[in-house]
Structure 1
Amino acid sequence: MSVGAARGLASSGQKPITEILHPLSAAEELLSPGPDVTVSVGGNREPGLTNGMTVETLSPASVSLLFNRLHLDDSLAEADTKDTYATTETRDLFVTVDDPKKHVSTMETYITYRVSTKTTRLEFDLPEYSVRRRYQDFDWLRMKLEDSQPTHLIPPLPEKFVMKGVVDRFSEEFVEKRMKALDKFLKRVADHPVLSFNPHLNTFLSAKDLNKRQGLALLTKVGESVKHVAGGYKLRARPAEFGTMGEYLDTFSQKLGTIDRIAQRILKEQSEYLTELREYGTVYSSWAGSEQELQRPLEGVAGCVSTCCGGLEDLSENMSQDFLPVLREYVLYIESMKNVLRKRDQSQAEYEGRLEAAILRKQEDGTPMPVEVEKCQDKVECFNADLKADWERWQHNKRQDFKQLLTGMADKNINYYEKCQAAWESLITLLQGKPTEDKTSETN
C-alpha cells in the first residue's frame, strides 16, 4: 500500500486495500446494502447548532504544510485568544488591499485596488511588492486556487454582480465595502498553510500583468471533467463526520438567513425612523423662534433629538458596513464549504465505483486489483485529511469573527443609548433650573 493510502486511516475508519482484498468478505461488507447517501451534502433534518466537530488533524500532504502545522501546534493552547489570521511570530507573508482608484476609458470603467506584499519567503524574488488589481483578477486567483487545490476550502469573494439602478458600484460606500472584503479574502489565503504556497498566489502578488486566458480555459476543461465524475452513483456509506458537517452547514445557513432578513428589516425601519426624527427636531427648532419664553427648552429638545439622530445614524452605519457584510461573507463561506464536501463525495463515489467493479472482475476471472483503485483511495484519504484540517481552521476563524462582531454590536448599542440618555438628562437639568433662575430675577 502506498504512503498516501496509509495516511489518516486510523481516524477516518476506512480499511486499507490489503484488508479489503484479504479476505474478500471485507470488501463485500464494505459494499453491502445500507442506507444510500446521494452525492450531495446535508439533509432535511434541522439539528441543533453546535460548534461543529472536533477532529484530530491528519499528517499534512506537503513539507510546507508540515512546517506550518508545527508552528500552529505550538500556539494551539492560545488559539482562541489570538488574532483571526495569524500572529506576527509565525507569519512570513503579509498582504494588504487598499487605495481604490477609478479608471475611465472609452471601452469600460472599472476600479483597481493596490495589493501590497511584504515577505521573507525564498520563492519570492523581492521582499516587497506593490501591484494594482481589479475584481476580475481576484476572481481569477480564486478560480485557480479552486482548480489546483480541490481538496481545500477556498475563502469566498464578495459577489461580483450588483443590481443596476439599485446599487451604484462606483459609489464610495460600495467600493469601500468591496475593498474590505477583498482584503479579508487575500489575508485568509495568505494565512493558509497550503494555499499561501500556491504558485498562482505568488503570480498574483508579484506579476505586473496576469495571463488569465490560459488558466480560465484549463479551468473550464477540469470543471467539465469533474462534473461527470461518478455521476448518479450513490455512496454506500458516507463517514458520519462528514454527514455531520453537512447538517451543521444547513442549520448554520438557516440561522444566518433568518438573522440577515431581520437585520435588513431593522435597518429599513431605522432609516424610516431617522427621517421622521430629523423632521421632528426641525419642528422644535422652528417653534423656538416664535416662542421667546419657551425658546430655551424648545431648543433643548431640538438639540436632544439631533444628538439621537447622530447616534442612530452611527448605529445604522455600523449594521450596514460591519454587521451585514460578515453575515453575507459566512453565507458565501457555507457555499464554498458545501462545494468542497460535494467534491469529497464525488471522490469517494469514484473510489467505491472502481472498487466494486474490480471486485466483480476478481470474482469472475481472478483479475488482480488495478492500481487505479489504490490511487482513488489515496485521493479520498487526502480529501478527508485536508477537509478536516480546513474545517477546524474555519471553525476557529468563525468563532473569532463572531466574537468580534457581537462585541462591536454591543459596544455600538451601548454608545448609542448612553448618548441619548446623556442628552435627555441635560434637558431635564435645563428645565429644572429655569424656574430657579426666574425666581431669582423676580426677587432682584
Structure 2
Amino acid sequence: MENSDKKKDEAFHLSILVSDPQKQRNEHAKSSSYVTYQISTKTDNKSYHNTYRKHHQGETTGNDSIDIIVVHRRYSDFLLLHNILSQDHPTCIIPPLPDKKVFQYIAGDRFSLSFTQKRCHSLQNFLRRISEHPVLSHSRMLETFLVSGDWDAYRRSLSGTLNGNKDEVSDAFMNAFKTVHNQSEEFVEIKEKSEKLDHNVAKIDKIFNRVVKRQEAISEDYAKFSSNLQELQELVSNDAEEDEALRSKVKFFNEGIAQLSYGLRDLSKFLDYEYIVDLKDMEHYIESVKQTIKLKDQKQIDYEELNDYLTRSINEKNNLVSGYGGGNYFTSKLEELAGINQEAARREKIAKLEGKITSLTSEVDNAKEVADVFESEVFKEVNIFEEIKTKELKASLASLADNQIEFYKKMVDTWTKVEENL
C-alpha cells in the first residue's frame, strides 16, 4: 500500500517518440543485418536525466531542465523489455509488441520502408501505453531501456534471469478445458465487453483494408488518366491560338487529376501505415486483456479444485467416523480374511485424513487469498486498460478525421482553381 501511494505521489511527465528506423549491419556476423529505432524521451523525472548524464557524460547534476534523451534500440531490445515487465508484474496487462512472425519476414522483406514504418508506429504505441500505465511507467527497467548508453552490456548481465513462466503455462494447459464455477458478475461483463470490442475492431480493420485497396486502385486509375491527358496535351498543335487555349485547359485539368491521385495515395498511406496499424495493435491489446483474465481464472480454478478436494476429504472422514464408508466392500472383506483389524485400519485412515484436511485447509486458505488478490489487481488493470483504450480510440479517430478533412480541403482548393482556369 505504501509503494502504491508513493508511486502516485511521484507522478511525472513522460513523453516517448519512436522514429527513424535504420538498417544496420551486424559487425560480428557480416551476413546478418537488423533495424534500429530512435527513441526520444522527454520527461521531468530527475532520475532519468541524472542516469543519462552518468551513462553518457560520467557525471550527474541537479539541473531540472527538460532535455530530450535519445537512444537507439532494435526489436529484440523491445522484446526483452516486454518479457521482464511480464515477469516483474504478473498481474499487469502488459501492452503487446507487434508480432515478429509476419509475412514480411517470410518474404524476406523486413527491411522495406513499408514494414519498418509500420513496425515503428506499433513500437510507438507499445511504449506510449507503458508510459500511461501508473505502475509500468515507474519501472526501473523502463528507465534503463530509455536511458542506458551501454544497453548491450546490460542485456548480457540479464542472461539467464528470465524464467519464462513455465509453471503457469503448464497449469494453464492442464486446466484448458476447465471453467470457473463461481465467476463474479463484473468479470462476466468484462469478458462480454472484450469479446464485443474485439469483434468490432476486427470488423473495422477488415473494412479499412478493403478501403485502402480500393483507394489505391482508384489512385492508379487517376494516375493513368493523368498520363493520357499529358499525351493528349502534347498532341495539340502549337500553331493556332485555339489549340494553345485548349492545351492550357487540358493542362489545368490534368493538374487537378494528378493532385487527386496524389491525395488519394497519401490518404491510403495514412490508413495503411497508421490507422490500420492502430486497429491491429488494439486487437492485440484486447487479446492481452483476455489472456490476463484467463490467468485470473486459473487462480480461481486452482482454489476451487483444492476446495473440492478438501470437501471430499472431510466427507470421507465424517463417513468413517460415523461408521459408514471406509473403502470398497470387497477390499474390506479381503482385509478381514487376511486378519487385518478393521477398527485399527479405520482409525489409521481417519488419522491420515485429519492430517490431509489440516494441510489442505491451509492450502485452500492460501489459494483463496491469492485468487482474491489476483482478481482485485486484474480488475484494476482492466480499468486502466479502459482508460488507455478510450484515449487511444479517440486520438486515432481524431487523426482519421483530420486526414480526411485535410484531403477534402485540398481537393476543394485544387478544383476551385481548376474551375477558374477552365
- TM-score band w.r.t. shorter chain: 0.7 to 0.9
- 2:140 matched to 1:149? no
Alpha-carbon distance in 2 for matches of 1:108, 1:115: 23
Alpha-carbon distance in 2 for matches of 1:360, 1:189: 45
- Which residues of 2 match residues 6-405 of structure 1 at below 5 A? 62-69=1-8, 90-91=11-12, 95-105=16-26, 106-115=30-39, 120=45, 126=51, 131-164=71-104, 168-205=109-146, 206=148, 208-209=151-152, 210-211=155-156, 212-216=158-162, 218-219=163-164, 221-227=166-172, 230=175, 232-291=177-236, 292=243, 293-363=245-315, 364=317, 367-368=357-358, 370-405=361-396
- The verdict on how the C-alpha distance between 1:104 and 1:341 changes in structure 2, with shifts beyond 3 A counting, is same
Alignment coverage as a number of residue pairs: 351
C-alpha distance after superposition, 1:153-177 (max 9, x if no partner): 0001111123247572212332232
Any idea what SS the aligned residue of 1:294 has?
helix
The answer on whether the counterparts of 2:20 and 2:38 sit within 8 Å (CA) in structure 1 is yes
Deviation at 1:333, TM superposition (A): 0.5
C-alpha distance after superposition, 1:57-84 (max 9, x if no partner): xxxxx4332334568xxxxxxxxxxxxx
Counterpart among 398, 407, 410 of residue 407 in structure 1: 398
- The verdict on how the C-alpha distance between 1:147 and 1:272 changes in structure 2, with shifts beyond 3 A counting, is same
The answer on whether the counterparts of 1:288 and 1:295 sit within 8 Å (CA) in structure 2 is yes
Deviation at 1:414, TM superposition (A): 2.1
- The verdict on how the C-alpha distance between 1:304 and 1:107 changes in structure 2, with shifts beyond 3 A counting, is closer
Deviation at 1:386, TM superposition (A): 1.6
Any idea what SS the aligned residue of 1:289 has?
helix
The answer on whether the counterparts of 1:150 and 1:343 sit within 8 Å (CA) in structure 2 is no
Tell me which protein shows more helix as a share of its residues.
2
The answer on whether the counterparts of 2:17 and 2:40 sit within 8 Å (CA) in structure 1 is yes
Alpha-carbon distance in 2 for matches of 1:311, 1:113: 28
Higher CA-based Rg: 2
Any idea what SS the aligned residue of 2:21 has?
strand
- Which residues of 2 match residues 417-436 of structure 1 at below 5 A? 417-431=408-422
- The verdict on how the C-alpha distance between 1:69 and 1:104 changes in structure 2, with shifts beyond 3 A counting, is same
Deviation at 1:331, TM superposition (A): 0.6
TM-score normalised by L of structure 2? 0.75
TM-score normalised by L of structure 1? 0.71
- Aligned residue identity for 1:100: P
Alpha-carbon distance in 2 for matches of 1:353, 1:123: 47
- Aligned residue identity for 1:67: K
* Unmatched tracts of structure 2, length 5 or more: 56-69, 237-242, 318-352
Any idea what SS the aligned residue of 2:195 has?
helix
Alpha-carbon distance in 1 for matches of 2:116, 2:308: 53
CA RMSD of aligned residues (A): 2.7
Deviation at 1:224, TM superposition (A): 4.0
The answer on whether the counterparts of 1:131 and 1:208 sit within 8 Å (CA) in structure 2 is no
Alpha-carbon distance in 2 for matches of 1:231, 1:295: 72
Alpha-carbon distance in 2 for matches of 1:407, 1:93: 22
Alpha-carbon distance in 2 for matches of 1:408, 1:202: 29
- The verdict on how the C-alpha distance between 1:241 and 1:220 changes in structure 2, with shifts beyond 3 A counting, is closer
Identify which range, 315-324 or 62-71, moves more after superposition.
Answer: 62-71
Any idea what SS the aligned residue of 2:256 has?
helix
Any idea what SS the aligned residue of 2:94 has?
coil
Deviation at 1:220, TM superposition (A): 5.2
Deviation at 1:236, TM superposition (A): 1.5
The answer on whether the counterparts of 2:34 and 2:74 sit within 8 Å (CA) in structure 1 is yes
The answer on whether the counterparts of 2:87 and 2:165 sit within 8 Å (CA) in structure 1 is no
Deviation at 1:141, TM superposition (A): 1.9
- Aligned residue identity for 2:151: K
Alpha-carbon distance in 2 for matches of 1:235, 1:288: 74
Identify which range, 182-191 or 313-322, moves more after superposition.
Answer: 182-191
Alpha-carbon distance in 1 for matches of 2:411, 2:16: 40
- The verdict on how the C-alpha distance between 1:213 and 1:221 changes in structure 2, with shifts beyond 3 A counting, is farther
- The verdict on how the C-alpha distance between 1:168 and 1:425 changes in structure 2, with shifts beyond 3 A counting, is same
Match of 1:38 in 2: none
Alpha-carbon distance in 1 for matches of 2:9, 2:144: 26
- Aligned residue identity for 1:246: K
What fraction of aligned residue pairs are identical, expressed as a percent? 26
Identify which range, 182-191 or 155-164, moves more after superposition.
Answer: 182-191
Deviation at 1:139, TM superposition (A): 1.3
- The verdict on how the C-alpha distance between 1:323 and 1:95 changes in structure 2, with shifts beyond 3 A counting, is closer
Alpha-carbon distance in 1 for matches of 2:4, 2:108: 41
